[in-house]
Amino acid sequence: KESLILLLLVSFSQAEELVCRQIGDPENPQLSKDGDIILGAIFSFRNMNDRQETYMHKPQQVECTSLNFRELQYSQAMIFAIEEINNSTDLLPGISLGYKMYDGCGSIARSVKVALALVNGNEVVSAPTEAPCTRSEQGIIGGSASSFSMAIATVIGPFHIPLISHYSSCACLSDKTKYPSFLRTISSDDYQSRALAHLVKHFGWTWVGAIRSNSDYGNNGMATFTETAQQLGICLEYSVSFFPTDSSEKIKNIIDIIKASTSKVVVFFASNIEMDILILELSQHNLTGYQWVGSEAWILDSQTAEKDTHHILDGAIVQNSFTDMSYMPLFNNVYKGVYAVAHALHIILGCNKTCNYNVQLDPLTILQHIRKIHFKTKEGDEVYFDENGDLPAKYEIINWQPTENGIVDFVTVGLYDASLPADKQLSLQLESFIWAQNSKQVPVSVCSEKCPPGTRKVLQKGKPVCCYDCIRCAEGEISNMTDSITCERYACVKKEAEFLSYVEIMGVLLTAAALFGTCMTAVVAAIFFTYRTTPIVRANNSELSFLLLFSLTLCFLCSLTFIGRPSEWSCMLRHTAFGITFVLCISCVLGKTIVVLMAFRATLPGSNVMKWFGPAQQRLSVVAFTLIQVVICILWLTISPPFPFKNLTQFKDKIILECALGSAVGFWAVLGYIGLLAILCFILAFLARKLPDNFNEAKLITFSMLIFCAVWITFIPAYVSSPGKFSVAVEIFAILASSFGLLICIFIPKCYVILLKPEMNTKKNMMEKGASKSF
């Protein structure tokens, strides 16, 4: 590690002399060394800033006047790693690694050109057509910018030659369908962008500006940041992009946007080249006091820091690739890439104390083994690739801190490790931070201040969710937390439980009515039993009459199950008991109506219809009709029975204890079946209303069914619209009213004749009256 640091600290003049001495024809390798196995490399030793490529004229010869010192350091890191491996007895013993390094000159076209040279294995890129194709290199290190790597990976992908980048972090390169042979020793921007969003959220910055480079790196990275930021409740006040070749007017427009903004935090997702351009404009306008959060492409660039003469970027933070090598993580990435190829070759060649020299190497096999390697460097860093060819996401949080001599110091103030649980991924040393303008206080960047207790948030019309007003809670309400969206009542008030009870007036009256109906039915039954041998009782089918009186008694009594605190059993009993008893009641009335019709038909000459509806058939019809309702109730109770329910929403100050229906279909099926029988009975009774007097019970049934139907038709809207316990009272009233209607209309006229007009209760009187009417 110490040797690597010393090697990379070569002075600029030494480096310039070294490269210029070795550079001859720019289309030949700038640095090379023979070996048993050759590794290729593409670095941009020189920049293209001073000229433009064109297809109209042949490019001029590049002179050694614009040296990229950092790219030279990348090459030195690669050389160091290769020399270390060659001197090792544990890794590739007896095998020497060589290298060929080409100059991409900061140009995509040139980088693709030299990549083809490495694939072909020829020394000269623009070789004549008769030049033979020779063995290609076994892997390529390089491709600093994401755009360069995308172009190179597209060209060499079909040849399966591994391209291991140390600096291309665009998430788009994880697409193995487009870039099958691309791997990298730097984490994907997908992780970095999400880590940036979590870092911004950690400090409570919900109102930020966003600037990006108009490139694959900037656009993809900022898109992921924006998506994650929205999920975390962070709003972007503005989001702008620019390109290094943009006009000064466009750059100045970005400065104007920053000036007009209210956010004090700027997220900058771009390379050091774009940041250098922006720094010049920021310095000219003395735009200080903003907290900059940057991507790894510029946050650790010493040249960018040197250009920040006005200390505009002091206090800047982000992410930087995690490594123990202090300020040289990118050089360590090159080092890891070389070792990844070496470990793959070690496995392929079956190396132990010696290696098998007879193994034929092919790029696809090497690529497959590189994807599977898992090793640790001497510094303890784990190196392995996931299914997308990416390293696990680990970042240092770097803070720009000015020193006394005016030089910026890059201080590590935290770590981000995406492989850890969500609550442990971000680790910060807050006491080590220096913020914008050398402040020790965390800057505030929000669209609206937090709403204190006693207020609630109300969104501002037409603005993002981060912009809101704080409205004081209404009288009697309070919010006891910051940024509350609702206000609650200021004290806990015990709500009164409400249900229809036996002790309240309405409950007492309904109970009294039910008991009165029960007693009245019992009296009528006693009268009929006492006078059971008289013609009027016998003529009206005494068996069905007594069964009807019994069912009416049950109808009056079942209404009592609706009164009192609802329980699990009472909720199931009240509706099922009501449904079955009423069907039993209507079945008896229906049987009596059919008997009337059949009896009249039986008086006609030659008719024997009564044998088809005798006492046995009457009993069977009542049982059959009632059994259908029993089946409906059993299904209702089995599938989704009624249950006790606390209604907390209907009234603010009350809890309504009621019976939820469970299955609404079951409830309305029970009522619908009762209604169907009632309508059928009404129709038959209406048809029989003009029969002779001794069979005039049909008139009474018609009137009783008319009352019954009217009661239950008016019940439905009244039941639905009645609140709380009043809906229960409406249902009890409907039960009692329809029961009283049947009792009074069918039985009271007969009791009147039995008790007060005994002279009319004779067989002779009834037959004579009937005979005179029949003529």
694 close to 468: Cβ distance less than 8 angstroms:
no
Amino acid found at 608 = N
**Paired residues of 266 in beta bridges:** 209, 292
pLDDT computed for residue 691 by the predictor: 61
Least confident of 101-110, 344-353, 403-412, 752-761: 403-412
Residue 6's pLDDT band (boundaries 50, 70, 90)?
very low
103 DSSP β-pair partners: 43
Each residue of 207-242: pLDDT tens digit? 999 999 888 888 988 999 999 999 999 999 999 999
How many Cβ atoms are within 10 Å of 693's Cβ, its own excluded?
Answer: 12
State the chain's mean pLDDT as an integer: 81
Q: H/E element holding 13?
A: helix 12-22
Rounded distance between C-alpha atoms, residue 268 and residue 613, angstroms: 95
> Does residue 342 surpass a pLDDT of 90?
yes
Per-residue confidence at 62, pLDDT binned at 50, 70, 90?
very low
**Quick one: pLDDT band at residue 55, thresholds 50, 70, 90?**
very low
Contact of 512 with 556, CB cutoff 8 Å: no
Nearest to 169 by CA among 155, 159, 183: 183
The answer to whether residue 376 scores a pLDDT higher than 80 is yes
Superfamily of domain 189-323+393-438: Response regulator (3.40.50.2300)
pLDDT of res. 595: 74
Per DSSP, 494 falls in state P
Work out the number of other CB atoms within 10 angstroms of the CB of residue 297. 29
Q: Are the C-beta atoms of 317 and 398 separated by less than 8 Å?
A: yes
Residues 6+ positions from 469 with CB-CB distance below 8 Å: 448, 457, 458, 460
The least confident of 111-125, 202-216, 346-360, 411-425 is 111-125
Tally Cβ neighbours within 10 Å of residue 42: 27
Class of domain 501-774: mainly alpha
Instruction: Please tell me the predicted confidence (pLDDT) of residue 703.
Output: 81
> Rounded to an integer, what distance in angstroms lies between the CA atom of residue 732 and that of residue 559?
6
Q: Where are the alpha helices (DSSP H) in 141-215?
A: 146-156, 189-202
3-state secondary structure of 41: strand
Residue 96 confidence (pLDDT): 93
Say what percent of the chain tops pLDDT 90.
27
H or E segment to which residue 211 belongs = strand 207-213
Burial (CB count <10 Å: 0-12, 13-18, 19+), residue 49: exposed
pLDDT digits (tens, 9 = 90+) for 486-526: 888 766 667 788 888 888 899 899 999 999 999 999 999 99
Domain 2-127+134-186+330-380: CATH superfamily, name plus number: Response regulator (3.40.50.2300)
- Give the pLDDT confidence of 680-694 residue by residue, as tens digits: 888 887 777 666 554
How much is the average pLDDT of 724-750?
A: 86
Q: For residues 11 and 625, which has the higher predicted lDDT (pLDDT)?
A: 625
More confident call, 475 vs 458: 458
Residue 82 pLDDT greater than 90, yes or no: yes
Torsion region of 397: left, alpha or beta (phi above 0 gives left; psi -120 to 50 gives alpha): beta
Read out DSSP for 607-676?
--GGGGSSHHHHHHHHHHHHHHHHHHHHHHHHHS--EEEEE-SS-SSEEEEEEE-S-HHHHHHHHHHHHH
What single letter denotes the amino acid at residue 59?
P
Q: What is the rounded CA–CA span in Å between residue 651 and residue 234?
A: 38
CA distance 220 to 53: 26
Percent share of the chain, pLDDT over 70: 82
pLDDT over 50 (residue 425)? yes
Are the C-beta atoms of 610 and 598 separated by less than 8 Å? Answer: yes
Domain boundaries for CATH 1.20.1070.10 within the chain = 501-774
Return d(Cα 137, Cα 460) in angstroms, integer: 62
More confident residue, 212 or 329: 212
Gap between the Cα atoms of 647 and 191, Å rounded:
48
Tell me the pTM: 0.54
User: Residue 722: which residues within 8 A CB-CB, separation 6 or more?
Assistant: 729, 730
CA distance linking residue 40 with residue 163, whole number of Å:
9
Per-residue confidence band for 389, with pLDDT thresholds at 50, 70 and 90: very high
pLDDT tops 60 at residue 774: no
Q: How confident is the model at residue 110 (pLDDT cuts 50, 70, 90)?
A: confident
For 548-605, give the DSSP string: HHHHHHHHHHHGGGGSSS--HHHHHHHHHHHHHHHHHHHHHHHHHHHHHHHHHHHTST
274-290: average pLDDT: 83
Task: Please tell me whether residue 485 adopts helix, strand or coil conformation.
Answer: coil
Q: What confidence score (pLDDT) does residue 190 get?
A: 86
Nearest Cα to Cα of residue 576 among 634, 516, 512: 634
Mean pLDDT within 275-295: 84
Q: Which stretch of 24-33, 197-206, 236-245, 340-349 has the lowest confidence by average pLDDT? A: 24-33
Q: How confident is the model at residue 285 (pLDDT cuts 50, 70, 90)?
A: confident
pLDDT at residue 52, as a whole number: 44
Tally: H helices and E strands in the chain = 22, 23
The SS3 call for residue 171 is: helix
DSSP 135: P
Q: Which residues, in sequence order, are CB contacts of 220 under 8 Å at separation 6+?
A: 170, 171, 172, 189
Domain with CATH 3.40.50.2300 in the chain: 2-127+134-186+330-380, 189-323+393-438
Condensed to tens digits (0 to 9), the pLDDT of residues 532-585 reads: 888 888 776 678 888 889 999 999 999 898 888 888 888 888 888 988 998 998
pLDDT grade for 321, boundaries at 50, 70 and 90: very low
Q: Which of 112-121, 450-459, 596-605, 758-767 is the least confident region?
A: 596-605
